[in-house]
Structure 1
Amino acid sequence: MANVISDDVSKQSSAALDGLNEHTLKTVHWHFSDETGSPFWLEKKSSLNFDPLTDVKSFEDLKKFPEFEDEWLRGGPVDRWVPKGHAGKPVYVFETGGTTGIPKSRMVIEDHWKDYELFSDTLPDEHFPKGANWLMLGPSGPRRLRLAVEHLAQHRGGMCFCIDLDPRWVVKLIKKGWMEHLEEYKKHCIDQAVTVLTAGHDVQCMFATPKLLESLGEALEDKGTSLQEVGIKGIFSGGTEFTPQWTRFCVEEMLGGPVEEGGIYMTPTYGNTLMGLACSKPVTPADNYKISYYAPQPRAVTEVVKFDDYNQVVGYGETGRVKLYTLTDEFFVPGFMERDEGEREAPFEMYPWDGVSGVRPFHEIATATTVGVY
């Protein structure tokens, strides 16, 4: 793929990198200073073969850190991650994974609010009206997503209606091959959503995973109505199931065509408990519904790196594994290898830094990944 980046975008990219370098320096100093740092990183500092306070001068220097390990997040005490600079503030604990063994936990103070306020700025008001109520059709329990979507609704002046959904039970049903139970559980979740949407709550916006959105569309159709008729104008969705094929099906078959015709705007997102939320470049039929995600730099950064060298990014258009960096004053992750792979995308006006497209489970572990409701 030819890498054509205009002079304007090149200048913006250069300015964004300067900002990222400055932000990296500030974040590292916060997490490794005795006054503000977290017990985890202050203890880890002694086992590093460099001094983060003097040897990290730019984002590139984060490659000096060893790979961030999954296991560090499994089990407690979780408060070892709380920076001293935030001592005494109320702390949330969010879990991710956990379909087998101990789930990964991440402490959060306000990051989930900030991430979704930034995301809110990218939503077009005509399709996500301020003051409108939302439906959260996704996982509940110790998940960041539920509280984050609720905050998004409140931040935009509305209220959020939620359903009960335990993704761990879904994964267990799949692993046991209890497909009849799985269908019933999915129906149980969709019934809750249909009840909310048909109860006169003026819900105009929603979050849904692709599979649940599809099931909801079918359930409404069975009742002789549709997403448009129950008043939905804007949908944000997320998960690795978001493929160009599914997006085309969704837009053409469920949403009544592109937003100009069907009236419903849908934006894909890619996110997790560590990163926050990566926004998508607008998805268009002209671009074959290709989905490209851009992390919320400088708070989080994604790179697409070589399969045999995780410190080396691939060329534009080339395939590699997704590497994530979290750089907030609450949480510091210098290079975490995601369970995803994809293609490296060039910067553009809206997000003048690298993106990733074609996100799918990393091929070496894909067969062991149970996707569940996502």
Structure 2
Amino acid sequence: MNSGESVLSADIQAKAQAAKDKLDQHAYETVQWHFHESTGCPFWLEKKKELNFDPLTEVKNYEDIQKFPLFEDDWLRGGPVRRWVPKAFENDPVYVFETGGTTGVPKSRIAINDFRTDYENFSHTLPDQYFPKGSNWLMLGPSGPRRLRLAVEHLAQYRGGISFCIDLDPRWVVKLIKKGWMEHLEEYKKHCIDQAITVLTAGHDVKCMFGTPKLIESLCLGLEERGTSLAEVGITGIFSGGTEFTPQWTRYCVEELFGGSPEESGIYMTPTYGNTLMGLACSKPVTADEGYKISYYAPQPRAVTEVVSFDDPMQKVAYGETGRVKLTTLTQEFFVPGFLERDEGEREMPFDKYPWDGVSGVRPFHGIASGTTVGVY
């Protein structure tokens, strides 16, 4: 038994067991799907020949996924991208989403409906009081080949609204930083914020938005310069994400930029942690009482995050201890066993709403942090 498990209430333990049973069944079905000749994708059917076990007979639950080697970054760099399309979906329209790519070939993944499913599930976690159904949205984040833009657009549509998007190329931002062209960087950021303010002040009745922490801050300051504020232009609900989401920034944002808690300012912000491979991990409600601590919980059973030892990625750390984030994605479209993320954090205990492990304090993994350029995030 890991430290901390003994202090879970009987109710949470029962919910955690039910969630584990569901995950075990889902993991079994996902592996059957990806490794069966009639439904699997060319990549995994080919990779099966190199494995020293048979996934179809030897993966019976989630733990058995540890039998796979760790998923390698480079498998997603370069094509042909169609090798990732499961045979069952080969006649369906396919999207390709890219991640990274600031240097060299970007990682890419195929998607058919995963992004819609992920964001519909996420939609059910949003409080309607602050994210009213039928409201229009602003997408203040990266555009181009990234999943986020289409996903936020679908979220808006699913909730009965229309999404307004700005044009933002984070790869250009990273190049500006690397070249030390800070004046250009400032102008580009201003260009993005100008687009956002134009939308917000054009009478489109936008009440909800997505934004990265740095851009939300810039937007608030840009509105202040014009003698107005987020609340005054009608924003009530903000969905945000990015590694810059720290308790310190959240406190500053809520207390200084928004003007207080949702009850005081009328603005509710929900942090998320996600990426092109995982989907979207929701956070436990963030409150001043808990020092604005942010704990994320993956969308099980479709994705699982574990906080593992820096020395042994097969070993989870104890609750409250620090480790590297390991991701496993389990959908019919995409199977990623044991991918070591570029992030580290602390392992958090299950709670009522998400009765499985979470991760808090997410930040760039110290082993590569010095080489990581965060850019607009």
TM-score bracket, normalised by the shorter chain, equals: over 0.9
Give the match for residue 57 of structure 1. 60
Instruction: Write out per-residue CA displacement over residues 289-342 of structure 1, whole angstroms, 9 at most, x where no aligned residue.
Output: 000000000000000000000000000000000000000000000110000000
1:179-194 paired onto structure 2 within 5 Å: 179-194=182-197
1:232-243 paired onto structure 2 within 5 Å: 232-243=235-246
SS of the equivalent of 2:375 reads coil
Cα deviation for residue 2 of structure 1 reads 5.3
Partner Cα separation in structure 2 for residue 228 and residue 289 of structure 1:
21
1:7 equivalent to 2:10? Answer: yes
Change (3 A) 1:53 1:162: same
SS of the equivalent of 1:241 reads coil
Native 8 Å contact 2:138 2:206 kept in 1? yes
Which one-letter code corresponds to 2:336 in the other structure? V
Give the match for residue 165 of structure 1. 168
Instruction: Write out per-residue CA displacement over residues 209-262 of structure 1, whole angstroms, 9 at most, x where no aligned residue.
Output: 000000000000000000000000000100000000000000000111011111
Which of 280, 285, 301 lines up with 1:282 in the alignment? 285
Give the match for residue 135 of structure 2. 132
Give the match for residue 357 of structure 1. 360
Partner Cα separation in structure 2 for residue 85 and residue 309 of structure 1:
36
1:312 equivalent to 2:321? Answer: no
Cα deviation for residue 267 of structure 1 reads 0.3
Cα deviation for residue 87 of structure 1 reads 1.4
Give the match for residue 108 of structure 2. 105
Partner Cα separation in structure 2 for residue 124 and residue 268 of structure 1:
13
Which one-letter code corresponds to 2:74 in the other structure? E
1:122 equivalent to 2:125? Answer: yes
Which one-letter code corresponds to 1:316 in the other structure? Y
1:291 equivalent to 2:294? Answer: yes
Which of 227, 245, 250 lines up with 1:247 in the alignment? 250
1:219 equivalent to 2:219? Answer: no
1:77 equivalent to 2:80? Answer: yes
Native 8 Å contact 2:4 2:349 kept in 1? no
1:150 equivalent to 2:131? Answer: no
Which one-letter code corresponds to 2:140 in the other structure? L
Partner Cα separation in structure 2 for residue 131 and residue 21 of structure 1:
37
Which one-letter code corresponds to 1:219 in the other structure? G
Cα deviation for residue 5 of structure 1 reads 1.3
Give the match for residue 337 of structure 2. 334
Instruction: Write out per-residue CA displacement over residues 100-151 of structure 1, whole angstroms, 9 at most, x where no aligned residue.
Output: 0000000000000000000000000010000000000000000000000000
1:94 equivalent to 2:84? Answer: no
1:30-41 paired onto structure 2 within 5 Å: 30-41=33-44
Partner Cα separation in structure 1 for residue 173 and residue 50 of structure 2:
40
Partner Cα separation in structure 2 for residue 173 and residue 343 of structure 1:
32
Partner Cα separation in structure 2 for residue 118 and residue 194 of structure 1:
29
Give the match for residue 67 of structure 1. 70
Which residues of structure 1 form unaligned runs of 5+?
Answer: none
Partner Cα separation in structure 2 for residue 12 and residue 2 of structure 1:
16
Which of 195, 199, 220 lines up with 1:196 in the alignment? 199
Partner Cα separation in structure 1 for residue 174 and residue 101 of structure 2:
10
Aligned residues: CA RMSD: 0.7
SS of the equivalent of 2:118 reads helix
Which of 149, 170, 176 lines up with 2:179 in the alignment? 176
Which one-letter code corresponds to 1:76 in the other structure? G
Give the match for residue 259 of structure 2. 256
Partner Cα separation in structure 1 for residue 60 and residue 120 of structure 2:
29
Instruction: Write out per-residue CA displacement over residues 173-211 of structure 1, whole angstroms, 9 at most, x where no aligned residue.
Output: 000000000000000000000000000000000000000
Which one-letter code corresponds to 1:288 in the other structure? G
Partner Cα separation in structure 2 for residue 355 and residue 8 of structure 1:
18
Count, aligned residues? 374
The normalised TM-score by structure 2 is 0.99
Which one-letter code corresponds to 2:220 in the other structure? G
Which residues of structure 2 form unaligned runs of 5+?
Answer: none
SS of the equivalent of 1:195 reads helix
1:20-31 paired onto structure 2 within 5 Å: 20-31=23-34
Partner Cα separation in structure 1 for residue 106 and residue 336 of structure 2:
18
Give the match for residue 343 of structure 1. 346
Question: Which deviates more from structure 2 when the two are superposed, residues 272-281 or residues 2-11?
Answer: 2-11
Partner Cα separation in structure 2 for residue 276 and residue 255 of structure 1:
28
